[in-house]
Amino acid sequence: MAPRPDPSQDLLQGLDRGSLRRDLLSWYRVQGRTLPWRDDPSVYGTWISEIMLQQTTVAAVIPRWREFLARFPDVAALAAADESQVLDAWRGLGYYRRARQLHRAAREIMASDDGRFPATAAGWRALPGVGDYTAGAVASISLGLPEAAVDTNVDRVLRRLLCERAEDSAALKPAALRAAAAALVDPADPGAWTQALMDLGAGPCRVEDPDCGRCPLAAHCRARAAGNTALIPPRAVRPDVVPVVLSLLVARDPRGLVAMPPGREPVLRPAAWGGQARSSYGGLYRGYWRLPATGWYPAASAPGTAAMVRAWADWLGADPAAVHPVGSFRSAVTCYRQEVRVITAAQDAPWRLSQDAEPIPHPDAVRPLAQPDRRALELAEKSPI
C-alpha cells in the first residue's frame, strides 16, 4: 500500500523553515511575555496554566494561577483535595467542567505509575480534560518534545502565514493545518517555539487590525503579501446577546443559610410569570451549593422586584414584610447578560422550606457557593436590612 501523502507539503512549499524559525525565536527572546508559569517552569504549573487559559484571559488567570498553586502546590495535593475545595479555588474562572476534569486527571496521575506525569503527548491526551492543544503545549514546553500546539491564536497565525486568500483559508482542513504546524516546530527548542507562536497570536497577529509592521514573520506571510490579513480567518459569528432578569434569595434562619445541595435545581418558576429565557443555571455549577433562584426571564417582560419578593415570601411561608430587596448586580454567563436581583429574608424560627432546600448548618459550608451566589451573599451582608 502506498503511503498516504503528507497534507502539509503543499502548504509549506517555498517556505524557508530555518529562516522562519530564527526570525520568530529571535523576536520571542526579546518580546515574549513575562508570565509566572514561565518564570519558574514546571510540568505541573504549565499544565494548570493551560487548563485555566482555556476560555479565560491571561490577565484573569495570572492571580488565580498563583492562588491555586499556593493552595494545591503539587499534583499530590490536588488529588488529595475534595472536589468542593477544587471548585472553590476555581470560583470565578467559569467553565467549571475544567476544574472537575483537572481534579480527576490529578487523581488518575497519582493512581498510576507512582504519581509520575505522562512522558508523551499521547499520555497527556489520555487524561480527562486534556485535548490535542493542551497535550502538545505541555509536551513541548515542559518535556521538550517536538509537538505542535494549535489553539485559536496559533490557528490564526498559521492560516495567515500559509494562505494567500480567504478562500484558501476556508478550504484548509484542520488535519492539514495540524500537519503543517507539526512540520514547522523547531526541533531544537520546541517549547520556545510553542510559546512564541502563542505570543505572536496574542500580540501583533491579533484578530482585528493586525500589526504587521511589528510581526517577525511579516516577510514570510502569504496573507500579508496578498493584502488579505484582515480576511483570514473570517470573523466568527457570535451568538446574539440575551438580556435576562433573575433573582437570588439570601435567607437565614437559626440553622444557617437556606440553599440547595449539589444536584438539585434551585429554581422558583411561578406559572403566572410566563415563559422564561432559560429555566436555570442548569449544569453550569454542578457540584456547588446554590442559593434559591428564579428562572431567567427576558428583560423586556420580566416580573418586577415586588412580584419576586411576594413569590419568595410564599415559597418560604414567610410574612412578606420580612422579605426585602437589597440591590442587584450584572453578570454574564455564555450568551446571557443578567440583571441579578438580590432578595433577603431572616427570622428567628425555622422556615417552612420547599422540599428541595436545606439549611447549611455551619458558616464554612458557604465556601462552595457558585460565584453569582457569593456575590449575592456579599451584597446581602453589606445591606443594613
- Known catalytic residues are 50
User: Are the CB atoms for 329 and 375 separated by under 8 Å?
Assistant: yes
**Radius of gyration for the chain, computed over Cα atoms and rounded to the nearest angstrom:** 25
The cell numbers describing 226, all together, are 496578498
Quick one: DSSP state of residue 113? G
- Could you give the dihedral angle defined by the CA atoms of residues 86, 92, 95 and 99, in that order, rounded to the nearest 10 degrees? -10
User: Are the CB atoms for 346 and 254 separated by under 8 Å?
Assistant: no
- Helical H segments across the chain, by residue range: 9-12, 17-31, 36-39, 43-53, 58-71, 75-80, 83-90, 97-111, 121-125, 132-143, 152-162, 166-171, 174-184, 190-202, 222-225, 305-316, 371-382
The helix/strand/coil state of 35 is: coil
Q: What Cα–Cα distance (Å) separates residue 163 from each residue in 27, 178, 221, 223, 231?
A: 22, 14, 8, 6, 11
The helix/strand/coil state of 261 is: coil
Residues with Cβ within 8 Å of residue 318, at least 6 apart in sequence:
312, 345, 347, 351
| Torsion angles phi and psi, residue 347, rounded to 5 | -155, 165
The helix/strand/coil state of 340 is: strand
Q: Within a 10 A sphere around the Cβ of 58, how many other Cβ atoms?
A: 14
d(CA 357, CA 266): 8
> Residue 167's closest CA among 111, 89, 228?
228
